[in-house]
Amino acid sequence: MDKRRRMGPGKTNDQVSKRAWRVRVTVPRSYVPWASSDAIHKTMQQCRDGRTAPEVALRSNLHRRGMRFRVTARPVLDFRRTADILFPRRRVAVFLDGCFWHGCPDHFTPPQTNVQYWTSKIQYNRLRDATTNQRLRDHGWLVVRVWEHEDTEAAADRIAVLVSARGIMTCRP
């Protein structure tokens, strides 16, 4: 597409906003299908966020302790990350990570099929988790990561201690 056409009819360079010149950069990579069969594709499509057994158990445990929180909410509105459990007043964000999806050092087993896709996917998830942790810390949030294999009672104890230690913050930093 030539410059004249992108600028629009009758417009000069001075009249065109800088936004019109942004170019989306894509990294060329060979196509690797994410599901090795139609049956696996169907199973994975049915998996939804927020209602896994470990998440429900952890939320129930925290709720029984009298703790009130938001579920599946963004800690920072202009940052596209969603915490599983959020304590907005105390500025604590809890993420419950699956052992496979986030590469648990204790329980991760490499996939047997479609190895190239899953290896890069899990590496990207770990990188995204580290980026999320840093960005939320920069905004004044305490990030708590819980593995799905952790004991629910112990994880709830840890979260309760961290949330109560933060105290109620009267103003936003």
pLDDT confidence of residue 99: 86
Residue 73 lies in a domain: yes
Per residue in 149-159, is it b (16+ CB within 10 Å) or e — as a string?
ebebeebbeeb
Q: What's the CA gap between 91 and 168, in Å, rounded?
A: 9
Residue 138 lies in a domain: yes
Residue 14 lies in a domain: no
Domains: count for the chain: 1
- Residue partners of 84: CB distance under 8 A and separation at least 6: 50, 55, 71, 72, 94, 95, 96
The tally of CA atoms less than 13 A away on the side-chain side of residue 70 is: 14
Helix (H) or strand (E) holding 71: strand 70-73
CATH of residue 153's domain is 3.40.960.10
Residue 157 lies in a domain: yes
Task: Classify residue 172 as exposed, middle or buried by CB count within 10 Å of its CB (0-12, 13-18, 19+).
Answer: exposed
pLDDT 10s per residue in the chain (173 long)?
Answer: 444 444 444 544 444 444 443 444 444 444 455 666 777 667 666 666 667 889 999 999 999 999 999 998 899 988 888 899 999 999 999 999 988 888 888 888 888 888 888 888 889 999 999 999 999 999 999 999 999 999 999 999 999 999 999 886 544 44
Residue 140 lies in a domain: yes
pLDDT confidence of residue 85: 95
Residue 9 lies in a domain: no
Cβ atoms of 108 and 100 within 8 Å: the answer is yes
pLDDT confidence of residue 171: 42
Cβ atoms of 96 and 104 within 8 Å: the answer is no
Residue 92 lies in a domain: yes
Residue 162 lies in a domain: yes
CA 49 and chain centroid, separation: 11
Name the residue range of residue 134's domain.
48-166
